[in-house]
Structure 1
Amino acid sequence: MSESVIVTSKRREATRQKLLDAAAQVFAEVGLDAASVEAICERAGFTRGAFYSNFETKDELMLALTERTAEEKIELVTERIQALRATGEQFSPAELVQRVLDVAMDEKMGILLTSEIRTRALRDPALAQAYLAWQAGLIERVAAVIEELGRTYRLSPRLPARDFAQLILQQWEDTSAYAVMAGLDTDALCTLANERTAQLAIALVDPA
């Protein structure tokens, strides 16, 4: 790959990330439906042409933002596991789950974004296909984390890692959506989601 191609690729990725950053800000300020492509471009300092060279639709941008947020959470969880492993300490399943989930905090906008994507995907087959493909990849990433925890701390899950991951993610999403509808603030939302997800995770692991 030539140097010019590498530079162009980096510039394109930088533009894409700035658009995602701008979208997150605009979504938080005016909501998902009211956020226009023009407002996102203006916030990012780009033209509509720059937007449409990176995303075909606002829905595609929303999905990309959801993907980025989830990836950031996976990275935080992975870093936490590495830090816990470096201590050499042993933890009970309950302690381990709480310590790992403690870093995977959700915000209201992220939950609304995921819910909106799922609602739109029900009406748009192309978006549904893209969402399901992303979700399958996310399940595999979480399953890999579960397998690593099992090896490191000699845990015995009662289900295959992929099934375990799917249930954990579903519990997290359902509880988070409930917390938003109930009007809980961010701290209370995270506490409830962590507690219920931890309860399920502990129930799915055989006692040491």
Structure 2
Amino acid sequence: MSTRPAGGSPPASERRARTRARLLDAAHEVFAEVGMDAASVEMICERAGFTRGAFYSNFESKDELFLALITQLADAKLEEVAGRVRGLEPDTLADPSALVRQVVGVSLGERLEPQLVSEIRTQALRDPRLAAAYLAWQEVMRSRVEEIIRHVVDTYGLRLRLPIEEAAQLLLDVSDDTCTRATLEGRPVGEVTALLNERIERLVGVLVDAP
């Protein structure tokens, strides 16, 4: 039951969350139009309809904003994969490759552009503070992937040729390299997705020990 007075304003925490969400959406729109380097705080604030004060009450810098953005987008994509895993029956599939097509065959989507992740990483190479935050984000992503792999291994009784922690890191490394190279080659998002899924499927075929 809500404690908000009838006709009253939303709590400060709710207003802050909405402001943050609008800034993230605006940053994504501006990035898609002009790229991260050209996307200024002013442009993002104007697109979101907020002042610079509202921006800096939520984010210390543009880099922090973009890191928060890729965290949000990557979390949503991993949750989509995890949802597929949870929805599969233990005896649905016996072929690991078919299992990967069912579980990992998820599009990068219109929001999680590989260019965005690549640009954040490039900035992190030049900024020690952003580098530390980026590495922390990578560690969280690895933990999420580990959880997904562990669930699949336990559910299907699979055996891996590497420890789960190493398998998760290898999957992330291959994904990162594939997206970076494909972006440098100027491939559209659809082609990047298809190439990524193909390489992940082949890698899993190597990682899973045949019964």
- Return the TM-score normalized by structure 1: 0.92
Q: CA deviation at 1:198?
A: 1.4
Q: Which runs of 5+ in 1 are unaligned?
A: none
Give ranges in structure 2 of 5+ residues lacking alignment. 5-9
Task: Give 1:97's aligned amino acid.
Answer: V
Which residue in 2 is equivalent to 1:41? 45
The runs of at least 4 consecutive aligned structure 1 residues that moved more than 6 Å come to none
**Structure with higher helix content:** 1
Structure 1 residues 23-53: Cα deviation after superposition (integer angstroms, max 9, x where no partner): 0001001111111111111111111111000
| Distance across 2 between alignment mates of 1:164 and 1:191 | 21
Q: In structure 1, what is the Cα distance between the partners aligned to 2:35 and 2:125? A: 20
- Once the two structures are superposed, residues 48-69 of structure 1 have per-residue CA deviations (whole angstroms, 9 ceiling, x without a partner) of 1110001111000010011011
1:185 & 1:50 partners in 2: Cα distance?
A: 35
2:145 matched to 1:142?
Answer: yes
Task: Provide, for residues 131-150 of structure 1, a one-character-per-residue CA deviation record: whole Å limited to 9, x for no partner.
Answer: 11111111011001100000
For 2:189, the aligned partner's letter is T
Identity %: 50
Name the residue aligned to 2:72: 68
Q: Which moved more, 1:141-150 or 1:198-207?
A: 198-207
Measured at CA, do residues 104 and 148 of structure 1 come closer, stay the same or move farther in structure 2, by a change above 3 Å?
farther
Q: What amino acid does structure 1 have at the position aligned with 2:20?
A: R
Please name the residue that 2:7 is paired with. none
Contact 1:66 1:110 in 2 (8 A): no
The amino acid of 1:40's aligned partner reads I
Do the aligned partners of 1:105 and 1:190 also contact (CA within 8 Å) in 2? yes
Distance 1:69 1:152 in 2: 27
Q: How does 1:99-114 map to 2 (within 5 A)?
A: 99-105=102-108, 110-114=113-117
- Structure 1 residue 91, shift from structure 2 partner: 3.3
Deviations 1:136-195 (A, max 9, x none): 111011001100000111111111111111100110111111112222222211111110
Shift of 1:107: 5.3
For residue 159 of structure 2, what is the amino acid of its counterpart? S
Q: 1:183-198 counterparts in 2 under 5 A?
A: 183-198=186-201
1:117 to 117, 120, 137: 120
Residue type at the aligned position of 1:144: E
Cα root mean square deviation, aligned: 1.8
Aligned length: 204
Tell me which residue corresponds to 1:132. Answer: 135
In structure 2, how many angstroms separate the alpha carbons of the residues matched to 1:155 and 1:107?
A: 33
Amino acid at match of 2:82: T
Q: Alignment partner of 2:192: what SS?
A: helix
Matched, 1:82 2:79: no
Question: Is the contact between residue 69 and residue 110 of structure 1 (CA under 8 Å) also seen in structure 2?
Answer: no
